[in-house]
Amino acid sequence: MNTGKVTLVSAGPGDLDLLTFRAAKAIAAGDVLLIDDLVNEEITTLKSAHARVVKVGKRGGCKSTPQAFIQRLMRRYALQGKHVVRIKGGDALLFGRAGEEIADLRHAGIAVEIVNGISSGFAAAAALGVSLTHRDHCQGVIFVTAHLRDNTEPDWAALAATGMTLAIYMGASRIDSISEALSRTLTPDTPAAVVQWAGTSREKRLCATLGDIAACAAEQHVASPAVILVGGAIGEAMAQVSARSEPMLQRLSA
């Protein structure tokens, strides 16, 4: 039997309208779909009638499918000659452990295809109606996870000193320590925002300042999954809210 292949599909932030055509075609062509926990379950409506669906949820703070087990599943099915479609929330190449999976599959002689998508950081910015970069505020954006493999945190002082917009993933449970650490370098009035469930019908948006963002998030019960955005460019969202005399907290319906 010929060896199959694995396609790493980026499912985007949740809304199926944000899937690429290429992602939809890959899902329709798959024999086995391995689906992450944060992926919109309606994505299975795009599969073929014969395709098998296996949920391999991975979420911080929740019971998760071990990464080694997921990689064994991919190898097993691909070596049986099947087309395995590994469906990841957001973009597969950003904080999705794609690097580990790609290396493992290539070591096993299995072909890997990658389909890009929209990360929740971009979805969060779109929800706020702001650009992550802005010639008047910054020249770049840094995507960073709030905790390292050993459960420590990044060098927030060094990140803050870059002057770039910070798009912080997996930081909702640490927003107090994050804002405190960033405030040692940035001023308390630095614009900040949190977007929970970005790009989905459950989306919740909160605009504040770095000095207030943690308290506001706690008051409004903002939790994971969420993206924290910090920097001058995010102030454009605060200006819009002030101009419309709207409350800082905003919700979007489906």
Q: Are residues 109 and 126 in the same domain?
A: no
Q: Report which of 197, 202, 209 is spatially closest to residue 239, judged by C-alpha positions.
A: 209
Q: Report which of 39, 38, 37 is spatially closest to residue 23, judged by C-alpha positions.
A: 39
Q: Are residues 128 and 90 in the same domain?
A: no
Which residue reads 């950081």 in tokens? Answer: 121
Radius of gyration of the chain (CA): 19
* Structural domain of 111: 5-115
Domain boundary (72, 88, 115) is at 115
Q: What are 65-111's pLDDT values in tens digits?
A: 899 999 999 999 999 999 999 999 999 999 989 999 999 999 999 99
Domain boundary (63, 89, 115) is at 115
Tokens of 60: 């911080």
Q: Are residues 154 and 56 in the same domain?
A: no
Q: Are residues 132 and 208 in the same domain?
A: yes
| Number of separate domains in the chain | 2
Q: Are residues 103 and 157 in the same domain?
A: no
Q: Which residues are catalytic?
A: 36, 58, 170
Q: Are residues 48 and 131 in the same domain?
A: no
Between the CA of residue 3 and those of 8, 17, 78, what are the distances in Å?
Answer: 17, 33, 6
CATH number of the domain bearing residue 144:
3.30.950.10
Q: Are residues 111 and 125 in the same domain?
A: no
CATH number of the domain bearing residue 80:
3.40.1010.10
Specify the pairing of strand 83-88 against strand 32-35. parallel
Q: What are 144-203's pLDDT values in tens digits?
A: 999 887 778 899 999 999 999 999 999 999 999 999 999 999 999 999 999 999 999 899
Q: Are residues 27 and 45 in the same domain?
A: yes
Report pTM.
Answer: 0.89
Mean pLDDT over each residue of the chain, to the nearest integer: 90
Tokens of 213: 């963002």
In sequence order, what are the beta bridge partners of 5? Answer: 83, 111
Q: Are 85 and 7 in contact (CB under 8 A)?
A: yes
Residue 233 DSSP label: G
Domain boundary (115, 130, 161) is at 115
